[in-house]
Structure 1
Amino acid sequence: MHPQPSCPSCRQPMEAHRFTSNQGHTLELDICFACQGLWFDRHENLKLSPQSVVELFRLLHEHRTDQHQPLAESMACPRCNTSLAKGFDVVRSGRYMIYRCGRQHGRFSSFSSFMVEKGFVRHMTRPEIDDLAQRVGAIYCTSCGAPVDIRKDHACPYCRAAFSLIDPQAVVRAMEGYAAASAKAPAVPASPVDIGDALVALERDRARAERERQKRAFTTASSDASDNSFTGDLLAAGVALVWALMKD
């Protein structure tokens, strides 16, 4: 068994979480919630069972309000410490970014890239981005984690990744039939307004938690839904929407 690896980006120890593989064996994934990334040893990304995806969503939902940071410009393999090569894979739902070890020890993938790979995330259309830009001042890039002003940019100016969001309808379709938590009729897909509402609610949760930690008492007027100055997290908002669908 490999020792607990360090995150390729922040170099802090990753958390090991056990899942069931599609062959019924135990599969251990290493996760960094601060960097919103997963380390897959060779071919592990292809071995996760459908039921384990439900468990992964549960973890993402539990950590949806965690503080996270942009990915480092240079990342190293946690097995051999060689530099990871940035590249792209393409699936039906779009192109996604991954970081591979040249010695074939594995790959590092952001949460959103993994969801694109599995068909749960799709790239946003231009009208959706424009609609969301009227409600939210900025978002975190779901690929590199950098804050992006979507009123000016329609792709991340740092890594050039397209903005993407979790597609609740696709998730329900994927889960249907093999996960009790999602064995229901497909729900109406979330609209851009739904995502905007989720971002506003998410920011309110974060502001409330910060006030409690700092033990401050002040009015919440500045966090009114009309305030579009905060930075939203499309992935966290999408996870919240999907989890609500799965639990209904």
Structure 2
Amino acid sequence: MPASLLACPSCRQTMEQHRFASGHSGDLVLDVCFACQGLWFDPQENTRLAPASVLALFQLLHERRGEASRPVAERLGCPRCRQALVRGYDMAQSGRYVTYRCAQRHGRFGTFGAFMVEKGFVRHLTSLEIEALAQRLGTIACTACGGTVDIRRDHACPWCRSALSLLDPQAVQQALSRYGQAASNAAPAGAGQGGSPEQLADALIALERNRSREERERQRQRLEGGGNDQFDLLSAGIELVWSWFRR
């Protein structure tokens, strides 16, 4: 493949390149794998995206929402040096999220879902919400790492210690408004916004809806095979946001 194109750290297919405006000057070229629903960021690229580019990225995800996707591989390799990526966590205001970093500091790989956490499209559950869910549910899947959490006993993920979070209508609206306002303030007079909040919310929801549908199918297969099923809290949030934006 041409030197400018990278292989996906997960599936090894050639990643697509998409150009976005930088928050400082010039443009950024992001490498995206729609087959794995993942993003490769060279050093600091995730923090250099202009507010309008965050919106434009979700618009791109909306346009490609119907494509099939596959789970992230157990072992990921750096597309620059081929060494194994190290699984770890980053912290944002909305919680912790999983990242896969190159030990040689060539960059990091993350899922679209992790990007949503980083950019504030989820919120933490309150203790009252957790207690209410615990009365009706047994285990749930951690949004940050996918681990099983028994919320009758644990109010944080025992595997990654992340707070339990939910894709929430108000969190989505606030994040879209925040990035939209920042983009409006930064844009020249007469410049367009590149998509309405409803379209961008649709991109966000449809993207995670597809992933959640696949996860529910895997849960069903585990259940039929004698495994323990768990409740997908993110799926519940997706359904809530979907209905809220369609009112």
- Normalising by structure 2, we get a TM-score of 0.63
Contact residue 64 and residue 236 of structure 1 kept, 8 A = no
User: What is the aligned partner in structure 1 of residue 27 from structure 2?
Assistant: 26
Specify the alignment match of 1:221 in structure 2. Answer: none
Aligned residues: 210
TM superposition shift of 1:92: 1.8
In the alignment, structure 1 residue 98 sits paired with structure 2 residue 102: no
Deviations 1:50-73 (A, max 9, x none): 001111111222333433222112
Which residue type is aligned with residue 173 of structure 2?
Q
Q: Are 1:170 and 2:169 counterparts?
A: no
The alpha carbon displacement at 1:97 in A equals: 1.3
Report if the CA contact (8 A) 2:96-2:144 is conserved.
no
Q: Distance in 2 between matches of 1:135 and 1:33?
A: 35
Residues in 2 aligned to 1:33 and 1:235: alpha-carbon distance in whole angstroms: 23
Secondary structure of the structure 1 residue equivalent to 2:116: helix
3-state SS, counterpart of residue 116 of structure 1: helix
Relative to structure 1, is the Cα distance of residues 158 and 89 closer, same or farther in structure 2, using a 3 angstrom cutoff? closer
Match of 1:60 in 2: 61
Counterpart residue number, 1:110: 111
Q: How far apart are the structure 1 equivalents of 2:28 and 2:37?
A: 19
In structure 1, what is the equivalent of residue 41 of structure 2? Answer: 40
- The answer to whether the 8 A contact 1:164-1:234 is kept is no
Q: Is residue 52 of structure 2 the alignment partner of residue 51 of structure 1?
A: yes
CA–CA distance in 1 between the matches of 2:125 and 2:74? 25
Partner of 2:80: 79
Distance 1:67 1:135 in 2: 32
| Aligned-partner residue type, residue 123 of structure 2 | R
Distance 1:162 1:33 in 2: 28
Contact 1:175/1:182 (<8 A) preserved: no
Tell me how far apart the structure 2 counterparts of residues 76 and 67 of structure 1 sit (CA, whole Å).
22
Tell me whether 76-85 or 173-182 shows the greater mean CA deviation: 173-182
Amino acid at match of 1:54: L
Q: Deviations over 1:173-211 (max 9, x none)?
A: 312422445689xxxxxxxxxxxxx78xx57xx8xxxxx
Superposed displacement of residue 122, structure 1: 2.5
**Cα deviation, residue 241, structure 1:** 4.5
Q: Displacement of 1:36 after TM fit?
A: 1.6
- Is this contact kept in 2: 1:140–1:234, CA < 8 A? no
Structure 2: runs of 5 or more not aligned: 185-192, 199-204, 214-229
- Aligned-partner SS, 2:13: coil
Q: How far 1:125 sits from its partner (Å)?
A: 4.7
TM-score, scaled relative to structure 1: 0.62
Q: Which moved more, 1:117-126 or 1:75-84?
A: 117-126
**Counterparts in 2 of 1:130-209, with a 5 A limit?**
142-143=143-144, 164-166=165-167, 167-177=171-181, 178-179=183-184, 180=193, 181=195
The 1:98–1:105 alpha-carbon spacing in structure 2 relative to 1, beyond 3 Å, is same
Q: Secondary structure at the match of 1:28?
A: strand
Distance 1:236 1:32 in 2: 25
Note closer, same or farther for the CA distance 1:133–1:232 as it changes in structure 2 (3 Å cut).
same
Residues 126 and 59 of structure 1: CA distance in aligned 2, closer, same or farther (over 3 Å): farther
How many percent of aligned residue pairs carry the same amino acid?
A: 47
Using the alignment, how far apart are the partners of 1:41 and 1:149 within structure 2? 32
Q: Structure 1 CA distance, aligned partners of 2:159 and 2:42?
A: 27
Aligned residues of 1:40 and 1:106 also touching (Cα < 8 A) = yes
Q: Which moved more, 1:150-159 or 1:120-129?
A: 150-159
CA-based RMSD of the aligned residues comes to 4.3
Who is 1:220 aligned against?
Answer: none
